[in-house]
Structure 1
Amino acid sequence: MTVRLSIRSYSLVMRAHLHTYHQLVLPLHGNITMTLPGYSGKVGPGQCVVIRAEMMHEFKADEKCRFLVADLDNLPESMQQLPRPVFATSPELVAYCQFLELQLTQSAQPGLIESMSALFYHLLQNQVIPACRDGRISEAVRFLNEDISRTPSLGELAVRACLSLSQFKTLFKQHMGMTTGQYLLTQRMTKAKALLAHSDLPVSLIAERVGFTDVSAFSRRFSVYWGETPRQIRQR
């Protein structure tokens, strides 16, 4: 098993190519527009696009955006029969990708990179991929992940998914295994925990970045979700 990890940026000029290895693209900051067999659209934070070896694909992204890219000789078994090449990543994988960004942008030792790559692949093997075959729900997920500090209404999400409100709520729960509120809370708490553990940002700013205007309300919700206070996470 060989995994080559890197942090990359692209340009707004649409490019197309293929390669002899498999590739995963996981947005960290911003979206990437992808066109490949089975998918055409934007992929944002909290999602992963799987590009198989020898698969022609087109892509573009704002130069300010950043992506974790994994080149693989072998795909994990769970990713070999995907109904669609884009899926929502688990909170554990999201948090680890954020950690990898910090490590890979510094002068990491080769042995450390090898260990981090092995753990990354292990998390991929344990990734439970939601069987979301409905592009309308995927669009809503992409919009939620685009900026987790905002709280769009169910009506707004339903319009983006081109569904009635009742259809949207039913299909979202069916495909994602949770409500939109539960999904957004998971993304927010995962992001907050990663920032607390791997950055020196003030708690007030972290709270703001994950959609809380009141620090006390953020701390209470965080403590209930993780069973630890923000201070305890930071003091580890």
Structure 2
Amino acid sequence: MKRAVVFMLLILSSGMVFSQTATDSIPKLDPKTKNALNAADQAAFQLAMRYSDRALAKTKLYDLMVRNPEDIRYMEALANIYFEANQSASAALVALDILEINDKNVGAKEIAAYSLEQLGALDRALPQYESLYLLTGDNFSLFKSASLQYNLKRYAEAMNSVEMLIKNAKADEKIGFPKEDGTTQEVSMKAAGFNLKGLIYLDQNSKTEAKAAFSEAISLDPSFEQAKQNLQSSN
């Protein structure tokens, strides 16, 4: 498994992008033939998706991509299929190729960010989350950016992101946290921000500030299990 991830990261660093050059050796089709093949493959793709035959659906998308390298829709559909199947390496590679074509493609950024994070490539996932926040203003992306900055020990950046999150979080915004019993607990985004702020302080041995941050998180969300555990462990 580790070898597969390393291989995937080598591909990521090589900057391989699906483009017109990948199809230079394929004979050119006349427009009528090309349109007929496209229509047949699109119909087969729709049927494959309807009957949950993801393998055939992907095959048809690859045929459409090779025949129509300029049409990004097929790459987007392929990235979504890989993402929904939890095939993080393939999802990340396709999404990154899409971003080489259009670096403001929000869907591709979301897939790239989450998939790279799942693969443990935190330093590659972080710029995607940061860019996603700049494009959308979505506080979830800001929280993920702060979390990855914290995990990468970039504490000054993480604290700056957390302060922005606490300031901008809306009262009705929620985010899920795992509980000890395996369920997921929804807590307010602002409480999540204070909990992360406490962790940043704790990593820097600022226990007084950490306790204050954890206590603030609990006051905002009294049932916040992780914040309670963090407060207890900071004593």
Q: TM-score, normalization: structure 2?
A: 0.30
**Which one has more relative contact order, counting CA pairs under 8 Å at least 6 apart?**
1
| Greater per-residue strand proportion | 1
TM-score (norm 1): 0.30
**Larger % of helix: which?**
2
> Between Structure 1 and Structure 2, whose CA radius of gyration is higher?
2
